[in-house]
Amino acid sequence: MTSLEATHTYREIHEQPAVIERFLRTQRDVTERLSAEIRRRGITHVVISARGTSDNAGRYATYVVGGYNRLPVALATPSLHTVYGLPPRFDGALVLGISQSGKSPDIISVLEEARSQGALTASITNATSSPLADVSDFVIDVQAGDERAIAATKSYTSQVTAVALLSAVLAQDAARLAELDRLPAAVQATLAMNDEIAAIAPRYRYMTAAVVIGRGYNYATAFEMALKMKELTYTIVEPYSSADFLHGPVAMVEEGFPVVVIAPSGRMAAEMADFVAHVRALHGETIVISDDENVLRGARTPLRLPQPVPEWLSPITAIVPGQLFAMHLANARDYAVDAPRGLKKVTETR
């Protein structure tokens, strides 16, 4: 066993198939009950209170719940509650807290206010005996177990899986539920990319800035990979949709500028192939995570996803090479992957 394999970060990344399998096996009942209550109350929209990694799970919800379930999804502004004392009205809303620890006061304050207004509250958390759980009508346990590394990995993919399960159960869609059941095997297959990513990471050892691009369902994945790279490698990394990037930030691209593109097969693949070609024409360094041949063709560093999944579930597999890349790049720089500087496991903001 190498020193990296002995780290909590390495182990927790590799625990993800088992965590997702356990989550899907144990949390269907509470998700069914929450969905029944959503239908009974005639919920018209969803407000999500989250921070950091959990906020990126919320971004995913804006696509899968907003698009498939046709419920508008908004990310809450906790400072309206904690700083300005001007909470919005939550009539007709499901107010959903997403938090690994369930301890951050600003996230909790949103659900407290929602409950005081009589709104339906729920949480997706790894801490079912937390203050967040206490103010939730329904608690979905992400089943990640003890997460000891500072950078969240297994709790993130389980949170995203929780959102996906809620969407499928709410829609009463048997086909989508069957697709979810095949997800742990797809994540397991994706972990086979570990050695390949370990081999290419040293090429980027001296990288000081980069961007991560995603669109559609994988807009959230771009944010999460950028966050992991910031946390573990201390690199200035900004996430964008491909559309937003072309509206100005593309001016940053010069010879060798790293552009990570997350573009699994699906409706966005053709557009993303054109985007990659455009960046190559500007002499950018393209690192592409995809299973689509046309997208991969434009990559300087192709990272081929080994097992295609439906586009709506692709963020759960596509983030895995992002996690591995951040970990191996940090290791190549001799950084302590389990203990990034200036960070602690539970961050309590107000």
For residue 350, is pLDDT > 60?
Answer: no
pLDDT of residue 82: 87
pLDDT of residue 341: 83
Cα 205 to Cα 334: distance, rounded to the nearest angstrom? 10
Residues 6+ apart with CB under 8 A from 321: 190, 193, 197, 289, 303, 305
Q: What is the dihedral of CA 296, 302, 307, 311, to 10 degrees?
A: -50
Q: How many CA atoms lie within 13 A of 205 on its CB side?
A: 10
Cα 263 to Cα 215: distance, rounded to the nearest angstrom? 8
Q: What is the CATH number of domain 8-181?
A: 3.40.50.10490
CA distances from 96 to 68, 99, 126, 178, 349 (A): 18, 10, 14, 25, 18
| Every domain of the chain and the residues it spans | 8-181, 189-332
pLDDT of residue 120: 98
What is the rounded average pLDDT of the residues 132-142? 98
Cα 139 to Cα 338: distance, rounded to the nearest angstrom? 29
Q: What's the whole-model pTM score?
A: 0.96
Residue ranges with strand state E in 244-348: 258-262, 285-290, 301-304
Cα 218 to Cα 332: distance, rounded to the nearest angstrom? 27
pLDDT of residue 63: 97
The tens digit of pLDDT for each residue in 31-50 reads: 999 999 999 999 999 999 99
Q: Is 25 helix (H, G, I), strand (E, B) or coil?
A: helix
For 69-99, give one letter per residue: b (16+ CB within 10 A) or e: bebebeebbbebbbeeeebbebeebbbbbbb
CA distances from 57 to 45, 204, 218, 321 (A): 17, 27, 11, 17
Identify whether the C-beta of residue 252 lies closer than 8 Å to the C-beta of residue 204.
no
> What's the length of the chain?
350
May I ask the CATH architecture of the domain 189-332?
A: 3-Layer(aba) Sandwich (3.40)
The tens digit of pLDDT for each residue in 279-322 reads: 999 999 999 999 999 999 999 999 999 999 999 999 999 999 99
The tens digit of pLDDT for each residue in 84-115 reads: 999 999 999 999 999 999 999 999 999 999 99
